[in-house]
Amino acid sequence: MKKIMIFVSALTLSASMFAQKATKDNPFSLEGQLSYNTASLSFNAPSMRMRYFFADDMAARVSLSIQNSSTKDFYYELPNNAGGVGTEINKTSMTMISLGAEKHFAGTDKLSPYIGADLVYGMGGSSAKWDKFDGSNYDATVTATVKNPSSMLGLNLVAGTDYYFAENFYLGLELGLGFSSTTEKAGETVVTAGGTSTTILSPEAKSSNFGNNFIGNFRLGWRF
């Protein structure tokens, strides 16, 4: 976190050169975003955003975020990590697409504050693969596959600012407050034990969330 703050401060100090906000004559901007999760105190996967300024103070925007993670755990037959080894591999993925708009306000030659809103759709899920693992301990006779697809729909209100440290290049900070509804679709677990396979189905479940669920974004962009 300290290194990131030093990097951002260095870029901000470089703004001593004159920078003029762009106009609708160059209506597109492309930016990379790094999201900080205040709950887990960690950074999420980077995302991309394209904006189209159809007026000097109004922009439409579309964002794409792809999040993937994978963990592998080991389970041993005997104490002290001896004997046979079982494994559990868990994977999660979520692809989110958002469509929205921004309203920019008078700031300075370098600073452009705005408010906006996004409609967000996400699809993905989680999966797992067991080998010589029964869900709790090592078991040489058991293998399994687990699939749990999910989808998400949300509405996000945002406030942010663009800071042009050079012509058409800017740093940005954006904070969001939103509502999301997540559907955990019917899951399937196929367990094979001693040569016999059993399929276990899990019911669909829904949950909702309201708050800063679309965590603040640090942005670096180019308007062209």
Extents of the domains making up the chain: 2-223
| Among 3-17, 75-89, 195-209, the least confident range | 3-17
Query: What pTM was estimated for this model as a whole?
Result: 0.74
CATH class for the domain made up of 2-223:
mainly beta
pLDDT in tens, 15-71: 323 334 555 577 888 888 776 555 555 556 678 899 999 988 899 999 998 888 999
Token output for 176? 């969001």
